[in-house]
Amino acid sequence: MQEQSSRAALVLSEDYLEHKPGHTHPEHPNRLVSIHRMIDSCFKEVFPVITPALATLEQLELVHTPTYIKKVMKTAEQPSTSLAPDTPASSRTYHCAWLAVGGCIKALDCLLSGEFDSCFALVRPPGHHAQRDRAGGFCVFNNLAV
């Protein structure tokens, strides 16, 4: 029996580094910077890199309320604010969170189309703790639920 090789891909974007919750916050861009460096030095030729696209408003509204989405959009007007006690936001958080949802959707599309056998979305801010109408646990939009 012949072994089949599996094709794996990575979804990532430098834009995810623009979400800056503050130097002392655990969900810091340097976490992803380190991963990017490792990929560039060890895995650049191994895993294709897939560029994410922004999620659509309709996709976000599958999980989040319009009022909450507007609240997150308003963070783009402020250099520093907070969406929850543990979820700070900067002026680029809205864009990054929107792109994180799009990145997860892109990874799923790659799997469902059969283009890849596995796909890892290196997104931030994370999303799995976000609720329908509020942020939490460093998470803005629940990219997994969408």
- The CA radius of gyration of the chain, in Å to the nearest whole number, is 16
Residue 105 CB coordination number (10 Å): 20
Task: Report the distance separating Cα 46 and Cα 10, nearest Å.
Answer: 10
| Ramachandran class of 44: left when φ > 0, alpha when ψ lies in -120 to 50, beta otherwise | alpha
Catalytic residues: 129
Count of CB atoms within 10 A of residue 91's CB? Answer: 16
